[in-house]
Chain A
Amino acid sequence: MAEKEKNPNGAKGMTVIVKTISSWVKVLIFLFGIYIIITGHLTPGGGFAGGVILASSYVLLMLAFGREFVEENLSLPVASRLDCVGALLFAAVALFGLFFGAASFFYNYLHQDYLAEKETALRLISAGTIPLSNIAIGLKVGASLFLVVLVLSIFRPEPSGSKEERD
């Protein structure tokens, strides 16, 4: 078919059906990843699992549309900076533990009496600083895995013979 010959896999992306569906599904997967990160202190999952799901939503886009399209959306320097920001956010969450009360690193300074019977307004955030750490880890892991897949896909032996410097 003429359509398939114009879009061979890997050079310019896949067929129209695959592109449309994956662009819709990518949003849902991204949202699911955010859900897993945020409720990580209550349900199985947490920062790392959610971050992997976030990264794999971008990998889906990369498979369907080709690497250049995704690189325009979330380019390598931006992802690299997001990665560093995630790690620094985690360190900041840990460091603020030093300044509160009987201080120490990673001290759970937002922890309320979660087993108490009273209903508080912020009942979802029952585990103190753990959701904040989860969000930082999710950001970092998502950005890192996305970078890994992006950089690995740059190494395709292309006919033009261009070789980019790794990192």
Chain B
Amino acid sequence: MMRIPLPLFIAIPLVMAFLLPVFSGLGRKGKAVATVLANMTTISLLVLAVACIGQSGIYKIGKWPIPLGINLVLDGLSSLMLLAIGVVSSAAMLFSARYMEQYTAKAKYFCLFLLMVAGMNGVVLSGDIFNLFVFLEIASLASYALVGFGCEHEELEASFKYMVLGSIGSLFVLFAVALVYGNTGSLNMAAISDTIKNSGVNAGLAFALCLFIAGFGLKAALVPFDAWLPDAHPSAPAPISAMLSGILIKALGIYALTRMVFNVFGVSIQIGWVLVVLGMLSMIAGAFLAIGQWDFKRLLAYSSISQIGYVVLGIGLGCTLLARGEIAYASLAILGAVFHLVNHAVYKSLLFLTSGSVQMSTGTRQMREMGGLAEKMPVTRATCTVASASIAGVPPFSGFWSKLILVIAAVQAEFYWVAAIIVFVSLCTLIMYLKVQRYVFLGELPENLQQVEENKGSMLVAMVFLACLCVLMGLLVIVPSLKASILEPAVNALTDGLGYSAKILSM
């Protein structure tokens, strides 16, 4: 059994989410205590996630045996996602200690933020498809409210658009869950996987898989379904943009999709090709649309779409190769995709945090109105450069390694044109981030921005923490022991495919 009870990952943020509004009703000291408690919650989740590295196990809630009860499953992929959620949420919470002074109702903010973290942890740990849906909805509802937190014109419009599309996505997922229950008679992922292994995928289940791809694709902002992301991410407060772009679209969209495709339904060539095509569309569309943007955060949002395309491309490649039976090549592709997912979580959240820092100092998001902030805001500039170099794929930083692995995997599997497109989109990414650097930090300082100064305190700590991680994460693939303990269990959990059910049912 597990040393650490798995429901703690869900219970701690839930309890703190409902405890904090009680504190903040007690005046200024109460608000400070609430902030400290919220930060301690996210940091303790990070510590717990680090303690769970390399372990695996299941936790039966209420001690009900598996087909009857809900169980929580920790395997390699789940522990990696927990680690990523812990890192990004701690950094965003540290940042928001100072940043959210601009808004009123900070207590509700912490409540919603911790609910979102609890929801994401629940999605990642759940071993039961309806439980996954419930936690998906918890996290989504909290994020709809957080996007419109400032209640200004644009934020409300963005929040409404996000909410409508997100609800439609969740309803697709619920419909698919109902179809799967009707066709297999069970809600537990291991039991469904067992049934599908024995009797194959019939028409109802194939339709359910299409609905799952549509629903999770809406949450992950793949290209036909990404209409909400360019509006929602810029309008949200900066730490929320970091959370949304950095971890929410991945935990809710990509993780759930991979879990369904690899472990529950089993891989097949058609699904692999669908994912490859969706990934490539996202990469190209996101990159092209991002280059023409003049709003800093909108550019970052389009760049998110592009980078998620990388991850989905890698997953699709892995799926196709696994279905053909070439496990070694598939492992490499999935390793690239999973590593890119973790990398992108770190550097995209860092980019959004720096854009929030810039916005807090200068009061604007339009890059035409900024310039020359390099002398005035040195720490922000340094961390933004580190993150931009990372995302563009400059050698010693982490982004380079994950893109290299993806290119090698594509070349090895003889998808040469896919490799060419990956390299081309990396060039586009480099162009867009050179544009960011040039217009925001280099160049002339306009007169109305002569008085800006660097932000202090917790915001700097958060940004420097993430920047150090950007630099150090390249070591995750180079040092074999780190790779074997953190990344490989995730890859193995996916390439095991339908063996997931045998592992779970035997525990």
**Chain A residues packing against B (C-beta within 8 Å):** 77, 80-81, 83-84, 87-88, 91, 94-95, 97-98, 102, 104-108, 165-167
Q: B468 at the A/B interface (Cβ < 8 Å)?
A: no
Q: Within 8 Å CB of A104, what residues of B?
A: 5, 59-63
Q: B65 at the A/B interface (Cβ < 8 Å)?
A: no
Q: Once the chains bind, are A81 and B62 in contact (CB under 8 Å)?
A: no
Give the distance in Å from the alpha carbon of A94 to the alpha carbon of B8 in the complex.
11
Q: B104 at the A/B interface (Cβ < 8 Å)?
A: yes
Q: Within 8 Å CB of B63, what residues of A?
A: 102, 104, 107
Interface residues of chain A: helix, strand, loop or mixed (majority)? helix
Q: Once the chains bind, are A105 and B21 in contact (CB under 8 Å)?
A: no
Beyond A88-B19, A166-B151, list 20 extra A-B contacts (CB 8 Å).
Answer: A80-B21, A81-B22, A81-B25, A84-B19, A91-B11, A91-B14, A91-B15, A94-B11, A97-B62, A102-B63, A104-B60, A104-B63, A105-B5, A105-B11, A105-B62, A106-B62, A108-B62, A165-B105, A165-B151, A167-B105
Give the distance in Å from the alpha carbon of A19 to the alpha carbon of B22 in the complex.
34
Give the distance in Å from the alpha carbon of A101 to the alpha carbon of B210 in the complex.
45
Q: Once the chains bind, are B108 and A88 in contact (CB under 8 Å)?
A: no
Give the distance in Å from the alpha carbon of A91 to the alpha carbon of B105 in the complex.
24
Chain A residue with minimal CB distance to B20? A84
Query: What are 9 A-B contacts with C-beta separation under 8 Å?
Result: A81-B21, A81-B22, A83-B18, A87-B14, A88-B15, A95-B11, A104-B5, A105-B61, A108-B62
Chain A residue with minimal CB distance to B11? A91
Interface residues of chain B: helix, strand, loop or mixed (majority)? helix
Cβ of A166 to closest chain B Cβ, rounded Å = 7
Q: B57 at the A/B interface (Cβ < 8 Å)?
A: no
Cβ of B361 to closest chain A Cβ, rounded Å = 25
Give the distance in Å from the alpha carbon of A127 to the alpha carbon of B157 in the complex.
47
Give the distance in Å from the alpha carbon of A104 to the alpha carbon of B22 in the complex.
28
Q: B30 at the A/B interface (Cβ < 8 Å)?
A: no
Cβ of B69 to closest chain A Cβ, rounded Å = 9
Q: Within 8 Å CB of B15, what residues of A?
A: 88, 91
Q: With A105-B61, A106-B62, A166-B151 in contact, do A98 and B19 touch (Cβ < 8 Å)?
A: no
Give the distance in Å from the alpha carbon of A91 to the alpha carbon of B10 in the complex.
11
A81, A87, A104, A106: which has the most chain B beta carbons within 10 Å? A104
Q: B371 at the A/B interface (Cβ < 8 Å)?
A: no
- Top-5 shortest CB links A-B: A87-B18, A106-B62, A105-B7, A84-B18, A91-B15
Chain A residue with minimal CB distance to B21? A84
Q: Within 8 Å CB of B5, what residues of A?
A: 98, 104-105
Give the distance in Å from the alpha carbon of A104 to the alpha carbon of B2 in the complex.
12
Give the distance in Å from the alpha carbon of A107 to the alpha carbon of B59 in the complex.
12
